[in-house]
Structure 1
Amino acid sequence: MARAGLSRMDIKRARDALIAQGQHPSIDSVRIALGNTGSKTTIHRYLKELEDEEGTSLTRAGSLSDAIQDLVARLAAQLHDEADAAIAQQTVAALTQRQQAQAEVAKLTDDLAALRAQLSSADLDARRERAAHADTQAALQQRALDVERLTQQVRDLTGHLAEHDGFRRSLEEKLQHAHDALEHYRSASREQREQDARRHEQQVQQFQAELRQANQALIVRQNEITQLNRDNARLVAEVTAATKHSREQLARGEQLQTALNQALADHARAEAERDALNTTTSMQAVELAQAREARELLAADLTKRAAQFDAQQQLLTDYRMRLDLAAATR
């Protein structure tokens, strides 16, 4: 490749200097005299023009070796130019491939960073899912404890209700016995009075002497009746109190039944919530398995891309070694 500003006069001065020194002005010697600059084709063209103008040949006419040397020099110059062009083309291609390889390496690096970020996000999601699963299990265990506690309360309330029912039935039986005894006594007293009246009417004449005794017996009977009336009033009061207590027990039983119904409803709701929690837990377990599978797929893809990156790095290293070797050969 010609030096900037290289002219025919420069070639002539270099040639004349070589001739003055007793050296043969070949293309290579002229190029060396010019400081290893200038294209051999250009130097040969200028030397040829100088020879044509001066009518002399740069090589000796009778010397076949000089002609061969000139031909070899021109061929060497042409080969050198072609080699320079080929090396320049290969250098451009190598630079292009190197830039493409660097771009691909940068892309692979970005993909690797993105995959690492996705893997980190997947690990974080997996940890969150495990924490949520643990919270769900704890809530489920708490719900189970609440259900057990409510069930025990229902059993206790059922036992209390059974006890109150037994006490109420006992009071009703006692009240019925008291009514039966009172009616029996009233019937017996009425029959006895009727018998006494008939006997008194039939034997009024016969028992004039026993009137006082009969009156005393009547007084005793009246006292007994008074006492019985008092006992009856007391029994009525007891029955009233027992009835009131029974009503209170019934009201208490209704309250207990309401509480039992509420407990059963809470139990049913807790069962539904437990089923919902079980369903949610199952879904979360499936999602966790899917997240783990996705993480494994990402890890496999990351390994594959890392292998591709290593292969690209190896190819780039080999190509750099070939470029260095070509540069050293040049």
Structure 2
Amino acid sequence: MARAGLTRSAIKRARDTLVAQGQHPSIDAVRIALGNTGSKTTIHRYLKELEEEEGTSLTRAASLSDTIQDLVARLAARLHEEAQTLVDQQAAASATQRQQAQTEMAKLTTELATLQAQLAAATATLSSEQGAHAETRLALHQRDLDVERLTQQVRDQTARLAEQEGFRQSLEEKLTHAHDALEHYRTASREQREQEARRHEQQVQQLQAELRQVNQTAIVKQNEITQLNKDNARLVTEAGTAGKRLRETLAHAEQLQETLNRVLADHARTEAERDALHATVSLQTKELESARASLEAVTEQRTKLAAQIDAHQLLLTDYRTQLGLGAAAG
């Protein structure tokens, strides 16, 4: 398609100019003379038509009548007008297309500016994200240090718990031994008390029997003394002897009373020792209960520490997951 405004007359003028300058009116030369515009096909077609018109006009001019020449002239003018109309339509279409192209170019320019603004914003966001990523790496490093510190604390707590467990086992063994000793002491004490009670009862019964015997003897001797008093004159010697025996009997009774008192004192001392041993066992029981409470506190602390470590591990896993997703998106 020829450019807008390119007509056969323009091509004819360009050809005639080249011929006047002594140049060969080739298609490229004519196109250069037209300002490097126009289709080579159109230029070739117009040049061929001009050559045909000029070649036939010399042979036909003499034979054609004036009427035919006039008809040909009118037809040529009509063709020229139609061609010009077609050229004008094409020029208008080209102008419309050029306007549309300019509109599209303006739209593209606006979109380009928008894209450039978006690119600048994305660049700023990327810079910010890179800074945040650096901070995230530092935070992750700090979290790793915290995890390592907590892990060391867990190991230390585990070691302390092992020591506490050993202490607890030792306390339980001591408690078992104390219970065994207490049970053995209770059994031995019960047997000893039963033996001492039986011995004491036997001694009391024996002393009571002896005392009854002494009392009976004293009564008999008193009767004898009474009888002897009646026969004072005759039984003075026997009375003295009987008094001596009575004193000996009373002395023996006093010895028996002292023996009874010693037995009672031994029994009281045994009861005191038993009470002291009960107090010692009670104190050991309280110490064992305190040790159990300490062990339960340590166990609870270990449970809480394990829960804190699990929470830190979960938080670190989530944080690493989020960091991995952010890196993949970048």
TM-score (norm 2): 0.52
Segment of structure 1 superposing worse, 98-107 or 154-163: 154-163
Q: Could you tell me how far 1:186 is from its partner in structure 2?
A: 0.8
CA RMSD of aligned residues (A): 4.7
Say whether the 8 Å CA contact 1:129–1:284 is kept in structure 2.
no
Q: Could you tell me how far 1:160 is from its partner in structure 2?
A: 8.4
Q: For 2:310 and 2:260, how far apart are their aligned partners in 1?
A: 77
Structure 1 residues 195 and 109: CA distance shift in structure 2, 3 A = same
Q: 1:266 aligns with which of 265, 269, 290?
A: 290
Gaps of 5+ in 2: 1-13, 19-24, 39-101
Tell me which residue corresponds to 1:185: 210
Q: 2:276 aligns with which of 243, 247, 252?
A: 252
Q: Could you tell me how far 1:190 is from its partner in structure 2?
A: 1.9
Structure 1 residues 144 and 224: CA distance shift in structure 2, 3 A = farther
Count of residues paired in the alignment: 238
Gaps of 5+ in 1: 1-58, 76-81, 310-330
Say whether the 8 Å CA contact 1:157–1:256 is kept in structure 2.
no
Structure 1 residues 259 and 225: CA distance shift in structure 2, 3 A = same
Q: For 1:123 and 1:177, how far apart are their aligned partners in 2?
A: 83
Say whether the 8 Å CA contact 2:154–2:305 is kept in structure 1.
yes
Q: Could you tell me how far 1:106 is from its partner in structure 2?
A: 2.1
Structure 1 residues 251 and 293: CA distance shift in structure 2, 3 A = closer
Q: For 2:324 and 2:207, how far apart are their aligned partners in 1?
A: 102
Q: For 1:308 and 1:69, how far apart are their aligned partners in 2?
A: 57
Tell me which residue corresponds to 2:144: 123
Identity %: 14
Q: For 1:157 and 1:288, how far apart are their aligned partners in 2?
A: 44
Structure 1 residues 223 and 192: CA distance shift in structure 2, 3 A = closer
Q: For 1:142 and 1:131, how far apart are their aligned partners in 2?
A: 16
Q: For 1:111 and 1:71, how far apart are their aligned partners in 2?
A: 64
Structure 1 residue 62 corresponds to structure 2 residue 62? no
Higher relative contact order (CA 8 A, sep 6+): 1
Structure 1 residues 192 and 66: CA distance shift in structure 2, 3 A = same
Q: For 2:229 and 2:17, how far apart are their aligned partners in 1?
A: 207
One-letter amino acid of the counterpart of residue 266, structure 1:
S
Q: For 2:218 and 2:319, how far apart are their aligned partners in 1?
A: 111
Q: For 1:279 and 1:70, how far apart are their aligned partners in 2?
A: 103
> Per-residue displacement from partner, 1:16-61 (whole Å, max 9, x unpaired)?
xxxxxxxxxxxxxxxxxxxxxxxxxxxxxxxxxxxxxxxxxxx886
Structure 1 residues 229 and 215: CA distance shift in structure 2, 3 A = same
One-letter amino acid of the counterpart of residue 255, structure 1:
A
Q: Could you tell me how far 1:259 is from its partner in structure 2?
A: 1.4
Q: Could you tell me how far 1:251 is from its partner in structure 2?
A: 5.1
Structure 1 residues 148 and 224: CA distance shift in structure 2, 3 A = farther
Structure 1 residues 121 and 68: CA distance shift in structure 2, 3 A = same
Tell me which residue corresponds to 1:33: none
Tell me which residue corresponds to 2:324: 303
Structure 1 residue 140 corresponds to structure 2 residue 161? yes
Q: For 1:200 and 1:217, how far apart are their aligned partners in 2?
A: 7
Q: For 1:297 and 1:146, how far apart are their aligned partners in 2?
A: 39
Tell me which residue corresponds to 2:266: 242
- Say which one has the larger Rg: 2
Say whether the 8 Å CA contact 1:129–1:288 is kept in structure 2.
yes
Q: Could you tell me how far 1:148 is from its partner in structure 2?
A: 4.3
Tell me which residue corresponds to 1:292: 313
SS of equivalent to 2:17: coil
Say whether the 8 Å CA contact 2:150–2:309 is kept in structure 1.
yes
Tell me which residue corresponds to 2:58: none
List aligned pairs for 1:1-330, cutoff 5 A.
62-63=17-18, 68-73=31-36, 99-100=120-121, 102-151=123-172, 152=174, 154-155=178-179, 158=182, 162=186, 171=196, 173-195=198-220, 216=241, 219-220=244-245, 222-236=247-261, 238-239=262-263, 241-243=265-267, 245-246=269-270, 248-250=272-274, 252-253=276-277, 255-267=279-291, 270-271=292-293, 273-309=294-330
Say whether the 8 Å CA contact 1:136–1:281 is kept in structure 2.
yes
Q: Could you tell me how far 1:289 is from its partner in structure 2?
A: 2.9
Say whether the 8 Å CA contact 2:214–2:249 is kept in structure 1.
no
